[in-house]
Structure 1
Amino acid sequence: MKRTFLLVVFSGMLSVYGQQRDYAIQAIPFTSVKLTDQFWQSRIETNRTATIPASFERCENTGRVKNFVMAAEKSGKFCTTFPFDDTDIYKTIEGASYSLAVHPDKKLDKYLDSLIVIISKAQEPDGYLYTARTIDPQHPHSWSGDERWVKEHDNSHELYNSGHMFEAAAAHFFATGKRNFLNIAVKNADLLTRTFGPGKRSVAPGHEIVEMGLVKLYRITGKKDYLELAKFFIDQRGKREYKKKSGNSWENGNYWQDARPITQENEALGHAVRAMYLYSAVADVAALTGDKEYLQAIDRIWNNMVGRKLYVQGGIGAVPDGEQFGADYELPNETAYNETCAAIGNVYWNQRMFQLHGDAKYIDVLEKSLYNGLISGVGLDGKSFFYTNAMQVKNTFHYPRLEAERSGWFECSCCPTNVARLIPSVPGYVYAQSEDGVYVNLFINGSANLVVNKKPVQLIQQNNYPWEGGLLFTVKPKSTADFKLRIRIPGWARNEAVPSDLYSFQGSQLASVVLKVNGEVTSYSLEKGYAVINRKWKDNDKVEVSLPMEVRMVKASEKVKDDQGKVAIQRGPLIYCAEWKDNDGRTSNIILPEETVFKPVFQKDLLNGVTVLKGEALGVNVSADGKSIHTVNKPVTVIPYYAWANRGKGEMTVWFPARVKEVDLLTK
């Protein structure tokens, strides 16, 4: 009852304050969706029982909590490395709050309240909350500057900290109905509205997310100042003087997404995580204000990213130096960065783009990132992580900043705590609703309780996705209900590897999508990637969808030089990789001719249960004396990309040469 009440409160607040515009399509809250799915429910449970407790423990053990205690006492020395370390506590509270919303836990609830007390005591009387300065204002962190805000554009992360705190406070209020954390956030946000804006201080935040957080506070409170400040921060981009002709992204402003106003931008540039948070905020503000220039800008940027800068497993951010997007078609494998936080940001942005446009292509990209380049960032134990997500690991070479094995924590631990807050919210990406019906976006077992045209409707999913393509939907309206049910037909089931020409499938798709209503094969219209079924729904009406789960070879555009003559492997939404453990200790010597045939085999005792693909390929062997090489037929096993590096350290590859083109000779 509490969560239902809160949703009514949110709606009532916004109507009182006169908000009329918003996303035409609204996501169904994750609290209205109950999962019974083995694939995702087990991950959410692991996040609850392992990831979140480990994150809190590490926040305490590393001094992140102590920083807040010292800030309250105005005594001591900032004891961690980065001024944004405060956000690791905020993000873990956010994830814990989402968990509480569906899994009540008195002990966790009490612990969160104790942390919130510590945070409140660290807040200065005017609302400022930033332990890297408050502990010792005369000797703040070296990134912070001598005064508040003077290095905000660069590396102080003062507003970044506020943004994550706003997101966490909104989640906590939603989950518990308590205002203890929300009051802290509002006090800080009010300070920002007094400090920044027309005729006041101006800045383009160095690391975006405060804009997203301000929008969330606006949705809760209806205070228009917060929305206006979010837009103000976005509109400050492109006003700073840079060396415009410099090839250095820091010097020309591209690193910060600050080289030009967002309304003049045409491509995804700079630090990939910052970019995702900025574009998500632009989408939010566009939805709430109707700003068409914003909308046109993010449409252009999205087309550039998906058409030229997206890895085949949904990762983004190719360049280790600065964690940045590369140039168009710059997608190297051995040095691929693919930060886990960037994959999470990619999910946030594509969800918003879907809500703006109602097109399945955005969910196609979201799904690709979610099932591959995002959950690869957390180990199956829930307590080991990748900051970067490699595309290839060789025994002979590894780039110093990239990882071949998982870690329990990082000096900069933004990714583990970002995972902690994303995973519990996955049920909120399954369904969405517009005025005339319901969207089914993700295929996850469970039930959702909806209200469609003022009538209660329960929608039940049954499937074994992502391993099998048979989907069953049972529609249970309380009384006969007339609405459109839109079921996403994934791009990969329509012979489309991605919604651009960046990647494509080799050969023809053998099977087609089949849809049945109450057991009868039914024709359907396909609108923006959705099968649309418009009818008067009765209790226990059933819709069956059969998606072709063929093993497909993927090839890259000829413009992606690093992938020429190579193939990747996809089945359903999953990208596969070869790992050393299954292939005689090596993967860099595998050749996959185009005619290679793979057989799916489900192995319940491997990697928490996975469908592996087994086939016959070629292996390149070197003679014992090192004077000759030859190829031999060899069995090859590939596993889902997300599951690699859970069995020790060794070689891994996503892209396989289809034939021998040349041989590099190594000399020492």
Structure 2
Amino acid sequence: GKRKLLDSLARYADHIDATFGPEPGKKPGYPGHPEIELALVRLYHATGNRRYLELASFFIDERGQSGNGKEHYYDVEARERGDDPAKFWARSYDYNQSSKPIREQEKVVGHAVRAMYLFSAVADLAGECDDASLLEACDRLWDNLINKRMYITGGIGPSRHNEGFTTDYDLPDETAYAETCATIGLVMWNHRLLQFDGEQRFADVMERGLYNGFLSGVSLSGDRFYYENPLSSAGDHHHVPWFECPCCPGNVARNIASIGKYFYSTGPDGLWVHLFAGSQAEMLVNGSVVKVKQSTLYPWDGAVGIELELAQPQTFTLHVRVPGWCGGSGGSQGFRVAINGVEQSLRAEKNGYLAIRREWKNGDTLAYIMEMPIQPMFANPAVRQLEGRVAIQRGPVVYCLEGVDHGNIILDRIAVDTKDIAGFTVEQRPDLLNGVAVIHGRGTVINEPTSESLYSPQAPSVSEVALTAIPYCTWDNREPGEMRVWLRAK
């Protein structure tokens, strides 16, 4: 019930509203680093004051407007402070997503964190204002990002120069920037898109980001961080306690505190289960309290137990996501379901969720078992840096090799037969890295050369080698050394 902080934030927003806007006497501008837009929507929810929603809409609609005699606002602003707009260091307003209005943008460009915060606000406004054109822009940009510009870990933004995007299919592994904050923003945006029609594809991206590109950004001790998250390292990239620009540590803490809201939601016809982990929540379903509890070792095991507690029997639909990696994207059925111990014959709906409608009673249980095969993963051939490479994934978790498990072997010299990967074995290791599932297999390694010649007509010899793969999100938590996600394929 305390309003002191809320009221001070409202006064601050009132000052911004008095300064910016379309009205005479106000500046027709918008922020260089988007994020206030999504904050204004949240402030509208907290206060009910529609002016904050309208200001967020103005910032979104005005961004990138120019032409037909109208000068770009950043050009006007630069001249007012005595700068030459042509000397803007980034050389393009793509950097802050203002080269054109959001409804006209076709590709995800510029600074990755800026883009994710902007798109999150666009999704918010699409819902609040029932604006189909904003939702269409989100869908178009989502398709470009996920299918042409995202790392397998859910990391985004390959370039250090602009902390962001370059061109389609440009996804170098060793020099990947993939800022931790950008993956957090990716999760935020997809969580918002998930609320529209409950499409599994958005929850799949959230899960990929959370279990891989986000968790890699913080050490298992919780007090050391990555700003950037490459997919290969020669042994010179390590978690550090702090940064000159310390956005990531605070953002990691915020995301961890927010994770609970990502797992469940309610809709007009029932309860939705989007993500899986040991958890419990109390929610209103059709006006009545429903307690839901998950018991699972996920993501190391695909068995999930769901138990419901209700004061009285209630009819509603329980929607449970079927991840794309186990059949939720139209592939073969890779799961089993039992209700109160009785096997059910169920298929995923078009949106990638099970839809189980029945009268639910107190103590009802759902046993949901997802198969977790070890899968070889290949990049689109257009990703030139990953041609002839293969990655290993099990469930939502991307794996890597780490030098500490492979002696003095240079990891880039290791190759695996892609046909063998599905037959690799899984070992649960409660004693390792806070308890993970590791993968064991065999490959080959190029032997040390027999001469010092830089070039030779003779192919190098190879030897067989035992491999141990660990979850990518846990690397650099033991001895310093090499790491590699993408291995040579044969």
Distance 1:631 1:656 in 2: 15
Q: Is this contact kept in 1: 2:412–2:488, CA < 8 A?
A: no
> Could you report, residue by residue, the CA deviation over 1:205-263 in whole angstroms, capped at 9, with x for unpaired residues?
1001000111111100111110010111111211255799x9x9933311110111001
Q: Which residue of 2 aligns with 1:587?
A: 411
* Identity of matched residues, %: 40
Distance 1:484 1:491 in 2: 21
Segment of structure 1 superposing worse, 434-443 or 626-635: 626-635
Per-residue deviation, 1:417: 1.0
**Amino acid aligned to 1:546:** I
Structure 1 position 526 matched with structure 2 position 348: yes
Structure 1 position 553 matched with structure 2 position 376: yes
Structure 1 position 483 matched with structure 2 position 316: yes
Equivalence map 1:62-141=2 (5 Å): none
- Structure 2 alignment gaps of length 5 or more: 76-85
Q: Is this contact kept in 2: 1:340–1:388, CA < 8 A?
A: yes
Q: Is this contact kept in 2: 1:394–1:588, CA < 8 A?
A: no
SS of 1:287's equivalent in the other structure is helix
Distance 1:361 1:315 in 2: 16
Q: Is this contact kept in 1: 2:328–2:353, CA < 8 A?
A: no
Q: Is this contact kept in 2: 1:600–1:614, CA < 8 A?
A: yes
Q: Is this contact kept in 2: 1:317–1:339, CA < 8 A?
A: yes
Aligned equivalent of 1:404, options 237, 240, 243: 237
Distance 1:299 1:284 in 2: 13
Distance 2:30 2:102 in 1: 11
Q: Is this contact kept in 2: 1:567–1:656, CA < 8 A?
A: yes
**Amino acid aligned to 2:302:** G
Per-residue deviation, 1:460: 1.5
Q: Which residue of 1 aligns with 2:79?
A: none
Q: Which residue of 2 aligns with 1:161?
A: none
Q: Which residue of 1 aligns with 2:122?
A: 282
**Amino acid aligned to 1:324:** G
Distance 1:626 1:394 in 2: 22
> Could you report, residue by residue, the CA deviation over 1:511-539 in whole angstroms, capped at 9, with x for unpaired residues?
72111112222122422010110001112
Q: Which residue of 1 aligns with 2:159?
A: 319
**Amino acid aligned to 1:381:** S
Per-residue deviation, 1:178: 2.2
Q: Is this contact kept in 2: 1:212–1:280, CA < 8 A?
A: yes
Distance 1:583 1:515 in 2: 40
**Amino acid aligned to 2:411:** T
> Could you report, residue by residue, the CA deviation over 1:276-328 in whole angstroms, capped at 9, with x for unpaired residues?
00000001111111111111111100011011011001110111111111211
Q: Which residue of 2 aligns with 1:658?
A: 489
Structure 1 position 623 matched with structure 2 position 446: no
Equivalence map 1:162-241=2 (5 Å): 177-199=1-23, 200-240=26-66
**Amino acid aligned to 2:384:** K
- Runs of 4+ deviating beyond 3 Å: 240-244, 623-628
SS of 1:645's equivalent in the other structure is coil
Distance 1:613 1:340 in 2: 25
**Amino acid aligned to 1:230:** A
Distance 1:461 1:591 in 2: 39
Distance 2:275 2:89 in 1: 37
**Amino acid aligned to 1:539:** N
Per-residue deviation, 1:437: 0.5
Equivalence map 1:22-101=2 (5 Å): none
Per-residue deviation, 1:456: 1.8
Distance 1:446 1:375 in 2: 18
Distance 1:196 1:254 in 2: 22
Q: Which residue of 1 aligns with 2:216?
A: 376
Distance 2:155 2:353 in 1: 25
Q: Which residue of 2 aligns with 1:76?
A: none
Distance 1:193 1:535 in 2: 49
Q: Is this contact kept in 2: 1:319–1:325, CA < 8 A?
A: yes
Distance 2:405 2:4 in 1: 52
**Amino acid aligned to 1:254:** D
**Amino acid aligned to 1:452:** V
Aligned equivalent of 1:357, options 186, 197, 214: 197
Q: Is this contact kept in 2: 1:249–1:255, CA < 8 A?
A: no
Q: Is this contact kept in 1: 2:238–2:476, CA < 8 A?
A: yes
SS of 2:461's equivalent in the other structure is strand
Q: Which residue of 1 aligns with 2:280?
A: 447
**Amino acid aligned to 1:442:** L
The change in CA–CA distance for 1:382 and 1:301 in structure 2 (over 3 A counts) is same
Per-residue deviation, 1:626: 3.9
Structure 1 position 330 matched with structure 2 position 167: no
Q: Is this contact kept in 2: 1:479–1:539, CA < 8 A?
A: yes
Q: Which residue of 2 aligns with 1:493?
A: 326
Q: Is this contact kept in 2: 1:255–1:270, CA < 8 A?
A: yes
The change in CA–CA distance for 1:624 and 1:385 in structure 2 (over 3 A counts) is farther
Structure 1 position 427 matched with structure 2 position 260: yes
> Could you report, residue by residue, the CA deviation over 1:56-102 in whole angstroms, capped at 9, with x for unpaired residues?
xxxxxxxxxxxxxxxxxxxxxxxxxxxxxxxxxxxxxxxxxxxxxxx
Give RMSD over aligned pairs: 2.0
Q: TM-score normalised to the size of structure 2?
A: 0.91
SS of 2:401's equivalent in the other structure is strand
Equivalenced residues, count: 463
Q: TM-score normalised to the size of structure 1?
A: 0.67
Structure 1 position 646 matched with structure 2 position 477: yes
> Could you report, residue by residue, the CA deviation over 1:114-157 in whole angstroms, capped at 9, with x for unpaired residues?
xxxxxxxxxxxxxxxxxxxxxxxxxxxxxxxxxxxxxxxxxxxx
Q: Is this contact kept in 1: 2:28–2:62, CA < 8 A?
A: yes
Q: Is this contact kept in 2: 1:588–1:652, CA < 8 A?
A: no
Per-residue deviation, 1:334: 1.6
| Higher normalized helix content (fraction of residues) | 1
| Higher normalized strand content (fraction of residues) | 2
Q: Is this contact kept in 1: 2:322–2:328, CA < 8 A?
A: no
Q: Is this contact kept in 2: 1:249–1:270, CA < 8 A?
A: no
Distance 1:454 1:222 in 2: 22
Aligned equivalent of 1:576, options 369, 374, 399: 399
Distance 1:212 1:447 in 2: 28
Equivalence map 1:284-299=2 (5 Å): 284-299=124-139
Distance 2:34 2:211 in 1: 25
Aligned equivalent of 1:416, options 249, 252, 261: 249
- Structure 1 alignment gaps of length 5 or more: 1-176, 396-402, 500-507, 660-668
**Amino acid aligned to 2:418:** E
Q: Is this contact kept in 1: 2:93–2:99, CA < 8 A?
A: yes
Distance 1:624 1:182 in 2: 71
